[in-house]
Amino acid sequence: MQGNLTIIYKDVKYANIKVRPSLEVVVTVPLGTESSKVDDIIQKRSNWIKKQLTYFNDRQHHVKEYVSGESFQFLGKDYRLKIIHSNEERVKLSGGYLQVWVKIGTDCDAKKRLVEEWLKDKAKFHFSKVLNKYSKLVGVGIDKFSIRYMKTRWGSCNPKKSYININIELIKKSLDLIEYVVLHELTHLVHYNHTAEFYGFMTLYMPNWKIRKNKLENT
């Protein structure tokens, strides 16, 4: 396993592993955890850690040029970028392609902004739809939700203010994984920490949440 390894002993009930875009692997374990137990925890998650390191390493070394043929993900599917010269500017999914209409001579940054604006509009639509569905299902209201880029989390929340934030990158994942993240954050508005009650609440409304979580961590 490559990457910088940091082990944090903290007053928590469960061990947690995060892989950051900087290729740092952060392992947080309960106070008093023996080193051999820490090694076991890392070994059990070694395949996932390697996949995450590979993913972030590839992102560091591959910068999109926004030219025809490049691959883009949307709602769990891969699409090929197709640049179409036109007097108008718009983006559309069609037949396995992410079609981008731009004027001749449009530079990479302009095409990037156009695609990112389209992705954010789509994210607002799909995230809002899922939030409305699950907030009604579990009987938990939210005062505000925002979409932004987050380096290490798919979502976050502020239980005191009933705010939820969702990572724009999540729009690249399939709908079932979006639902998992949304329910996870809604559950935090009821149960602040990852307690038995928290996981019981998750299981009540999404019996297969562990499968979805594993899928999210490994794609």
pLDDT tens digits for range 51-79 = 888 877 776 656 778 889 988 999 999 99
pLDDT of residue 137: 92
Q: Which H or E element spans position 133?
A: helix 108-138
pTM of the full structure = 0.73
pLDDT of residue 101: 94
In the beta sheet, which residues pair with residue 90?
101
Cβ-contact 185, 164 below 8 angstroms: yes
| Helix pair angle (175-188, 209-217), 10° resolution | 110
Q: Which of 77, 12, 19 shows the shortest CA–CA distance to 51?
A: 19
pLDDT tens digits for range 163-211 = 999 999 999 999 999 999 999 999 999 998 889 999 999 999 999 999 9
Is the model's pLDDT at 1 over the cut of 80?
Answer: no
Cβ-contact 76, 173 below 8 angstroms: yes
Give the chain's domains with CATH numbers. Answer: 4-61 (no CATH), 120-217 (3.30.2010.10)
pLDDT tens digits for range 30-41 = 999 998 999 999
pLDDT tens digits for range 82-135 = 999 999 999 999 989 999 999 998 999 999 999 999 999 999 999 999 999 999
Residues constituting the chain: 219
| Helix pair angle (108-138, 196-205), 10° resolution | 90
pLDDT of residue 59: 66
pLDDT of residue 41: 92
Is the model's pLDDT at 21 over the cut of 80?
Answer: no
Is the model's pLDDT at 3 over the cut of 70?
Answer: no
